[in-house]
Amino acid sequence: MVFRRRDRRPPLRAVAEFLWPRGGWGRAFLYVKHRIRRLPDSPERIARGIWAGLFTTFTPFYGVHFIVAAVLSRLMNGNLLAALSATFFGNPLTYVPIGVISLQTGHWVLGSQPVAEVDATLTDKFLAAGSDLWYNVYAIATGMPTDWSGLEIFYDEVFYPYMIGGVIPGIIVGTIGYILSVPVIRTYQHRRRRKIKAKFEAIKKRAELEAVNSPHAPSGTKPPGRTSRVLRPD
């Protein structure tokens, strides 16, 4: 697997590093940017993957953003790894503002009344909905009575407006990411090719000089690539 770690982390450490990576989120973003630029693909395909990943962060499908980004990237013929990497735009530092923007936009589009103090209750509502969902799954498996009223309220007040409202800012942010990433990735790839070519040219010249100046080389030895043609009798 691409993202599998060699060392197993304890669960508490994994949660802590998810909330605050080692080195901070600034270093994490630099690492993701570096990995995206080095992907072996065309700038356009990488940028389409970035679009899919950025758009996905404005959807309310928390916990399955990787799956949503992979599906979108597949439909757009984008780079899968770029899509998965771009989903890190959604993180504990940006979830609340992304959720507020998406939810408020959704209520504006639908013409409904926004939930009061959405920035303070959005996380609690998602956690409560997840708890209700697991309770009902457990109730179905054990024959206990189910209660879907909380999830119905969550769907009407939060999930559906969030899903509708996330389309507009998701398209805007994804398009900005696409427009900015294409020239940056293309420039980086051209510069990297020039560096690799210059490195190989330097190695080749050094090898030629060593072959000419070697004390064991016979007199009249020419550098590789300049050998004279030898005529053989029929």
pLDDT digits (tens, 9 = 90+) for 113-126: 766 555 556 767 77
Using CA atoms, how far residue 46 sits from 72, 77, 190, in Å, is 13, 9, 15
Radius of gyration, CA atoms only, the chain: 28
Q: Where are the domains positioned within the chain?
A: 11-190
- Please count the other Cβ atoms lying within 10 Å of the Cβ belonging to residue 216: 5
How far apart, in whole angstroms, are the C-alpha atoms of residue 55 and residue 50? 8
Q: Are 85 and 35 in contact (CB under 8 A)?
A: yes
- Please tell me the predicted confidence (pLDDT) of residue 3: 45
- Please tell me the predicted confidence (pLDDT) of residue 31: 57
Q: Which amino acid is at 29?
A: F
Q: Are 169 and 105 in contact (CB under 8 A)?
A: yes
- Please tell me the predicted confidence (pLDDT) of residue 216: 61
3-state helix, strand, coil in the chain (%, to 5): 70, 0, 30
- Please count the other Cβ atoms lying within 10 Å of the Cβ belonging to residue 51: 28
177: tokens are: 């990411």
The one-digit pLDDT tens for each residue of the chain (234 residues) are: 444 555 555 544 544 444 445 555 455 556 555 666 667 778 899 899 999 999 999 999 988 899 999 999 999 999 888 898 888 888 777 888 898 899 889 989 988 876 655 555 676 777 777 788 887 887 888 878 887 777 788 888 888 999 999 999 999 999 999 999 899 888 888 887 787 777 877 887 777 777 777 666 555 555 555 554 554 554
- Please tell me the predicted confidence (pLDDT) of residue 1: 43
- Give 167: exposed, middle or buried? Use CB within 10 Å, 0-12, 13-18, 19+: middle
Single pTM value for the model = 0.68
